[in-house]
Structure 1
Amino acid sequence: MSLAQRLTITQPMRVFWITWFGQLISILGSGLTSFGVGAKVFLDTRSTTQFALLSFFALAPMVVLSPIAGTLIDRWDRRRAMLLADLGNGFTTMLIFGMLMASDRGMFKLETWHFYLPVSLGSCFGAFRWPAFFATVTLIVPKQHLGRANAMAEVASGASQILSPIIAGALIDSVGLVGVLTVDVCSFFIAVTTLLMVRFPRPTVSAEGQQGKGSLLTEMKQGWSFISARKGLLSLMAFTGVAVLCMDLVVLLITPLVLAFTDISTLGRIASIAGVGALLGGIGMGVWGGPKNPLYGILGFHAFSGVVLFMAAPSPSVALVAAAAALYLFTMPPVMAGIQSIWQRKIPSDLQGRAAAVKRMVILCVSPFASLIAGPLADDIFEPAMREGGVLASTMGRLLGVGPGRGIAVIFIVLGLLTLANVTVGWLNPRLRNLDKELPDALPDTPPAAPDATTPNAPTAGASAS
C-alpha cells in the first residue's frame, strides 16, 4: 500500500476515532442519568408500569421527529447536527438537576410524572444524534471497515453498560442523583469539545439523493420511496423490528426481574457484567469485521440470543441471570453492527439521513410499544398467573417456581421462542437471505477526503469540508 493510500484511510479514521471518543463519553454520562432516574422511579413506586412509562416518554418523541430530523441532517452540516443534539441533551440534564434542587429545598414535591418533560425533550434532541452519527460514518470510514466502525459504536454502548451502573450506584449511595447528573454535565462538555475539533467531508451527490430535492415534505417522502422500492431493505426492516421488540422487552424487564429477588447494588453489578458481554462482543466484531455476507452473522448471532434467554428463566439466581445477560448482550454488537453496515452500504451518502431516519422511525415505533406493553404483561398478566394459586402456577410454576419475578421469567421464555421464529422466517425469505447479492452497494470503496481533525480550518481535497 502506497503512502498516499495509507493517508487516505488513516486521516478519515482519525476523525472517526476523535468523534467516537466524544460520543463514548457522552453515552457514559447519559447512561448515568438514565440508570439513576430509572432506578429512582422504580424504587419510589415499585411499579413496572411507571418504570416502563418513563421509557415510553424517552422514545415516543424520537419516533415522531425522526423523519424530519433525517431530512434536516441531509440538508445540514452533520457535525452541527450532532452538536445540536449534545447541547440539547446537556440542557435536559441541567433541567432535571434544577428540578431535584428545587425539590430538595422544599419548593415543590417531586412526582414521577415530573420527569416526563425533560426525558421527552432529551428524546427530541436524540432524534438528531444517532442518525447524524451513523450518516457521518459513511463519510469518514472506508467501506470495508464499516462493520468494524459500527462494532465500535456498539463497544461504546457496552462500555456504558459496564461503567454507568457502577458509577451511578456509587454516586447515588454517596451524593444522590444530583451527583450523577453533575458527572453527566461534565461528559457533555467533553463531547462538545471533540466535535469542535473535527470537520467532516460533505456527502457525494447521487441521482437518488437529488430526486427528492424540494420541500421538506418532498424530501421526507424520498427516504421512504427509496426503501419501499427495494424489497430486501423492507424485509430487513421487518426482521429488525421483531428483533428490537425482543431486545427492548428484555432490557425493560431485566430490572424488575432482578429487583424481585435482590437489591439495587446487585442489579448494578449484573448490569456491569452484562456490559462486559456487550464490550467483548463489540471488540470481537471490531477485530473480525463480520462474515463476507453480513446476513449469516446477523441470523446466527440472533438465533443464539434466543437460546440464551432460556437461561435466565429457570430460577432466581444472580449468577445465572448475570451469565445470561452477558451472553445475550454479547450477541447484540454483531447483530446490530451487521444490520447497520448493510444500510450504510446500500444507501447513497446524501440520502443516508432521510432513509436511515425512516428506518429508525419504523423500528423505533416498536420501542414505545414495548414500553407500553411491558408493564401490563408483567404486572397484570404473567406475574399474577405465577403467584401461588395463579393460572400458571400448576404448570409453568413447577418448572420455574412461583412468586415475584417468575411471571417475567415466563415472558423471557416466550421472547426466546419469538426470536427463534424471527430467524427462521428471515432465513426462508429469499429477498432477505440474498439481499447482499441482489442490491448493489451505493458507496465508493473509500470515503471523500477529510481535513486533519486537529486542524479544523484546513481545506478538504475532493470535497467541501463541513
Structure 2
Amino acid sequence: MPGRVPVTLAEPAARPSGGKDGRDDENQEEIPLGRNRQFLLMWAGSGAAVLAERFSAAPFTFVVIYEGYAKGLAGLVAFAALLPQLLVQLPAGVLVDRWDRRRVMIVADLVRLAGIGSVALALVLGHVWLWHLAVVAFVQGTFTVFYTLSERGAVRFVVPRKQLPSALARNEARARAAALGGHPAGGALYELTRWAPFACSAALYLFSLISILLLRGPMPPPPHPAGKTRRSPWAEVREGLAWVWRERDLRIALVLVAVSNMIFQGIILALQFIAKDTGRSPVSVSLILAAGGVGGLLGALAGGRWIQRAGMERIMVVTYLVWALVLPGMALTRDAWLLGGLFALMSGIGASVTVAGTVHQMRVTPDRLQGRVGSVVFLMVSGFSAFGALGAGYLLQEAGTRTAMLVFSAVMAGLAAVAALVFGPRAGRRRSRGRHLAGGRHSR
C-alpha cells in the first residue's frame, strides 16, 4: 500500500495563503512592521495585557506566602491560575475558529479588568480570601487563553505572510520584555502595598481594551464551506487533535515541552521559597524572575533566525541538553546572582524554542485549523503546567527546596536523553531513509 510521507519538524508542509482576507499576498506591498498602525496597536494592546498578567502573577502567591499560609496553599492558588490552560484550550480553539477574533479580545479584556479590579478592591478594604484569589486567578487564566488564541489568529489580518516570522518574534520578545519589567515591578508594588500590583494590572487591562477597540475592521474566522453543515464542537476538537496526532515528531516534541514546562513552574515556585527562607524580600525573587525575562527577551529575538538556520530536530536536542546541564547548578546554589544568571540562560533558550516552534506550527497548519491546532499545542505545552505548580507546592513542602530542585534536575536529564534518541543525528538518518522509501513507493 502507498505510504504517507511524514511531515517532520524540519520539513514544513505546504502553507496556506496568508493575506488579510484569505488571498495570496505574495505580491502585496509590504509596510514595515514599525510603521504598520494595525500591527502596532495590536502589539501595544496585547503587550499591556501580558504586562498586566505579569504584574499580578507573582503577587497572587505573595499574598499567600507572606500572610503565613502553608506552601501547599500557595501551590493551590498557582494551580488555579494555570488550570484553564488545561481545561479551556480545546473548546476555546473551536470557538475562536468560529468567532470574530477582535471581539473575543475585547470581551477577554473586559472580564479580566473586572476580576483583577475586585482583588485590588478587596485588599484595599483589608480582606484576604483564598477562594477569591483562586477564583479570580482561574478567571484571568481562562480569558487569557481566549485572548492569546484570538491574537494568534488576528496577526494574519494585520501583516503579510512574509512578515509572519518577524511579527511572531516581536510578539514573543514583547511577552519576554513584559516578564522582564512585570516581575520586579509586581514585587516592588507589593512591598509598597499589597493591593498596588492588582490595581496597576487593572489599569493595563484598560489600556489594552482601548488599543483593541481602535483596531480597524472585523477579524472574522475563515468562511464556512458553502453547502456543508457545521459539525459539533467536539467533532471539530477531534479534527484538531487528529491532525496533531498524525505528526509523530510534533506530538513527541509537545510531550517533552509539556513536562519541561511543569518543571519550570516548580522552579519558579521554588525560587520564591528560596528567597523567603533566606530572608529576602519579594523584590529579590522578582529580580531573579526578571533575569529570566532578560534572557527570554534576547532568546525571543534570536528565535526567528535560529529556525531559519537549524531544523527543529537540532533545536530540540540542544535545548534539552543545555537545560539538563544548567538545572543542577540551580539546585546546589543559594546565591541570588548565580540563580538569576542560570534562570536567564534557561529562559533565553526556552524563548528561542517557543518562537521557532510557533513559526513552524503556523506554517504547516491549514488556515481553517489554526485555532484548533493552536489550542492543542497550547494545551500540551502550557495546560499541564498547572499540575507542575500543584505538585511542586507539595514536593517543596514535604521534601524542601534543595531536594525538590534535584528531583527537577533528574527529570530534565531524562527528557534530554529522550530528545537525543528521538531527534538526534541517528534518528534523523532513519527519518531520511523512511522518506526516501515512502517517496519510492509513491513514484511507482
The TM-score, its normalising length taken from structure 1, stands at 0.78
| 2:141 aligned with 1:119 | no
2:49 corresponds in structure 1 to 26
| Equivalent residue for 1:259, pick from 276, 292, 305 | 276
Percent identity over paired residues: 20
1:308 corresponds in structure 2 to 326
CA positional deviation for 1:412: 4.1
1:285 corresponds in structure 2 to 303
In 1, the alpha carbon distance for the partners of 2:146 and 2:301 equals 26
* 3-state DSSP of counterpart to 1:75: coil
Amino acid at match of 1:278: G
Work out whether residues 317 and 416 of structure 2, in 8 Å CA contact, stay in contact via their aligned partners in 1.
no
* 3-state DSSP of counterpart to 2:309: coil
| 2:25 aligned with 1:7 | no
Partner deviation per Cα, 1:48-88 (whole Å, 9 max, x = no partner): 31221111111223422222211110011111111222212
CA positional deviation for 1:203: 5.5
Over 3 Å counting, the alpha-carbon distance change for 1:181 and 1:311 in structure 2 is same
Work out whether residues 298 and 334 of structure 1, in 8 Å CA contact, stay in contact via their aligned partners in 2.
no
CA positional deviation for 1:244: 2.1
2:350 corresponds in structure 1 to 332
In 1, the alpha carbon distance for the partners of 2:413 and 2:161 equals 35
* 3-state DSSP of counterpart to 1:7: coil
CA positional deviation for 1:293: 2.3
Which residues in structure 2 correspond to 1:49-448 (within 5 Å)?
Answer: 49-102=72-125, 104=126, 110-174=128-192, 176-198=193-215, 199=217, 202=220, 213-264=230-281, 265-285=283-303, 290-380=308-398, 382-383=399-400, 405-428=401-424, 430=427
Work out whether residues 257 and 408 of structure 1, in 8 Å CA contact, stay in contact via their aligned partners in 2.
no
The TM-score, its normalising length taken from structure 2, stands at 0.81
Amino acid at match of 2:414: L
Amino acid at match of 1:125: F
Work out whether residues 86 and 382 of structure 2, in 8 Å CA contact, stay in contact via their aligned partners in 1.
yes
Amino acid at match of 2:276: L
In 2, the alpha carbon distance for the partners of 1:433 and 1:39 equals 50
Aligned residues: 406
* 3-state DSSP of counterpart to 1:177: coil
Over 3 Å counting, the alpha-carbon distance change for 1:432 and 1:134 in structure 2 is farther
Work out whether residues 75 and 394 of structure 2, in 8 Å CA contact, stay in contact via their aligned partners in 1.
no
Work out whether residues 177 and 294 of structure 2, in 8 Å CA contact, stay in contact via their aligned partners in 1.
yes
Partner deviation per Cα, 1:419-439 (whole Å, 9 max, x = no partner): 42242243159599969x97x
Over 3 Å counting, the alpha-carbon distance change for 1:313 and 1:230 in structure 2 is closer
CA positional deviation for 1:349: 1.6
In 2, the alpha carbon distance for the partners of 1:38 and 1:233 equals 34
* 3-state DSSP of counterpart to 1:316: coil
More deviation, 21-30/71-80: 21-30
CA positional deviation for 1:220: 2.4
In 1, the alpha carbon distance for the partners of 2:85 and 2:299 equals 27
CA positional deviation for 1:143: 4.5
CA positional deviation for 1:344: 0.9
In 2, the alpha carbon distance for the partners of 1:210 and 1:375 equals 52
Work out whether residues 212 and 222 of structure 1, in 8 Å CA contact, stay in contact via their aligned partners in 2.
no
In 1, the alpha carbon distance for the partners of 2:57 and 2:68 equals 17
Task: Report the RMSD for the aligned CA atoms in angstroms.
Answer: 3.1
More deviation, 353-362/284-293: 284-293
Work out whether residues 74 and 354 of structure 1, in 8 Å CA contact, stay in contact via their aligned partners in 2.
yes
CA positional deviation for 1:331: 0.8
Work out whether residues 212 and 221 of structure 1, in 8 Å CA contact, stay in contact via their aligned partners in 2.
no
Work out whether residues 298 and 339 of structure 1, in 8 Å CA contact, stay in contact via their aligned partners in 2.
no
Over 3 Å counting, the alpha-carbon distance change for 1:220 and 1:15 in structure 2 is same
In 2, the alpha carbon distance for the partners of 1:297 and 1:158 equals 19
Amino acid at match of 2:108: A
In 1, the alpha carbon distance for the partners of 2:27 and 2:235 equals 39
In 2, the alpha carbon distance for the partners of 1:289 and 1:144 equals 15
CA positional deviation for 1:93: 0.6
